[in-house]
């Protein structure tokens, strides 16, 4: 079942709607400003529902603030690009240098997470389809581009996001979703005690500017080894150079068994030991960025909550950061006849 309710007026005067998908087990709220996940209500072990997604109650929070990009679809370029530039077919393209000399998330004020997408409801498929377009050269990249985001609750009970981009010429695309989770409830405080396992044998090394160096590091014997479940806080303060650079976890994990053909594979399992809520995430992208909210700090957020450092964790499926400048990484160019595609599935359960 899908219900549609008003969610305010965007700065450009467009009306924004909230779409609620409900299958009787979980309820997911998304809006067409930024193709954003607003909230997910999931039961704990006793059957008590709670919203496990950080965010705001009103559109103003997302349109005027939202430096943490709560719930947002990040496109066309997620994460960091070194030097805020890349080369496509011999032509250099320059992005906004919005983090020193580098680029982060395309443009934090004008990228697609700050725009109104068109939306349509497919009640039979329990799906909301959203789309947005960019002109050739807009936001620093080539191509007349159409981006789509499909949000659905599958018959098997998963919340599924399917991203695509088509372009009339070769371009760079690396879409992701930036939802933050706290399985105890969005306003429950630190997630350091929540237990996580990640199917990754390597991470992408960061330089001192937090841009990928091009080197992959084995997780064996490091704070980044989540192949066996452990609390997020177990090693978050470890004496480790990568931890110091990011002030915690802010790293792309190379999820094992990547296939370029879009094979959906299990990436993360997370559990809140107190509530008994569990989350499993499956992805098609080569990597996923674990961010433990190291710089989160919001007052008067959703339900007047105060979010502090480590108040939620994001797990952002993506191609490796700085990919176009590192030829050895899996690449994510798209163009006529070969669209960009990425699928994420979230499954909520209890222990």
Mean pLDDT confidence for 37-54: 98
Tens digits of per-residue pLDDT, 324-349? 999 999 999 999 999 999 999 999 99
pLDDT at 139: 98
Task: For the chain, give every domain's residue range.
Answer: 2-350
pLDDT of residue 120: 98
- What does the pLDDT read at residue 218? 98
What does 79-133 look like in DSSP terms, one character per residue? SEEGGGEEEETTEEEE----BTTBEESS-TTTSGGGSBPEEEEEGGGTEEEEEEE
230-246 pLDDT, tens digit per residue, is: 999 999 999 999 999 99
CB-based burial label for 200 (10 Å; 0-12, 13-18, 19+)? buried
Mean pLDDT over 116-124 rounds to 97
pLDDT at 260: 86
Question: What architecture is the 2-350 domain classified under in CATH?
Answer: Distorted Sandwich (2.70)
Residue 313 has pLDDT above 90, yes or no: yes
48-88: pLDDT as tens digits: 999 999 999 999 999 987 899 999 999 999 999 999 999 99
Q: What was the pLDDT predicted at 178?
A: 98
């Amino acid at each position: 079942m899908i219900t549609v309710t008003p969610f305010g007026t965007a700065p450009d005067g467009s009306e924004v709607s909230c779409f609620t998908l409900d299958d009787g087990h979980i309820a997911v709220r998304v809006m067409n400003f930024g193709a954003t996940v607003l909230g997910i209500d999931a039961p704990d072990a006793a059957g008590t529902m709670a919203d496990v997604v950080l965010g705001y109650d009103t559109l103003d929070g997302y349109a005027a603030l939202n430096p943490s990009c709560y719930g947002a679809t990040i496109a066309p370029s997620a994460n960091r690009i070194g030097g805020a530039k890349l080369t496509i077919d011999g032509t250099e393209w320059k992005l906004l240098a919005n983090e020193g000399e580098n680029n982060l998330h395309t443009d934090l004020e004008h990228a697609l997470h700050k725009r109104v997408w068109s939306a349509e409801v497919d009640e039979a498929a329990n799906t909301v389809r959203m789309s947005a377009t960019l002109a050739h050269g807009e936001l620093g990249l080539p191509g007349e581009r159409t981006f789509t985001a499909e949000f659905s609750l599958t018959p098997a009970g998963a919340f599924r996001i399917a991203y695509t981009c088509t372009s009339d010429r070769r371009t760079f695309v690396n879409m992701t979703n930036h939802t933050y989770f706290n399985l105890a409830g969005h306003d429950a405080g630190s997630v350091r005690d929540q237990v996580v396992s990640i199917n990754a044998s390597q991470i992408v090394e960061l330089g001192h500017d937090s841009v990928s160096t091009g080197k992959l590091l084995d997780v064996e014997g490091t704070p980044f080894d989540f192949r066996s479940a452990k609390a997020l806080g177990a090693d978050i303060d470890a004496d480790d150079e990568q931890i110091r650079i990011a002030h915690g976890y802010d790293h792309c994990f190379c999820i094992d068994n990547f296939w370029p053909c879009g094979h959906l594979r299990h990436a993360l399992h997370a559990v809140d030991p107190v509530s008994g809520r569990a989350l499993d995430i499956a992805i098609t992208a080569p990597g996923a960025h674990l961010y433990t909210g190291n710089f989160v700090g919001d007052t008067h957020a959703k339900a007047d909550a105060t979010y502090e450092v480590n108040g939620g964790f994001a797990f952002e499926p993506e191609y490796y950061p700085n990919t176009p400048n590192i030829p050895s990484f899996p690449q994510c160019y798209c163009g006529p006849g070969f669209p960009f595609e990425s699928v994420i599935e979230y499954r909520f359960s209890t222990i």
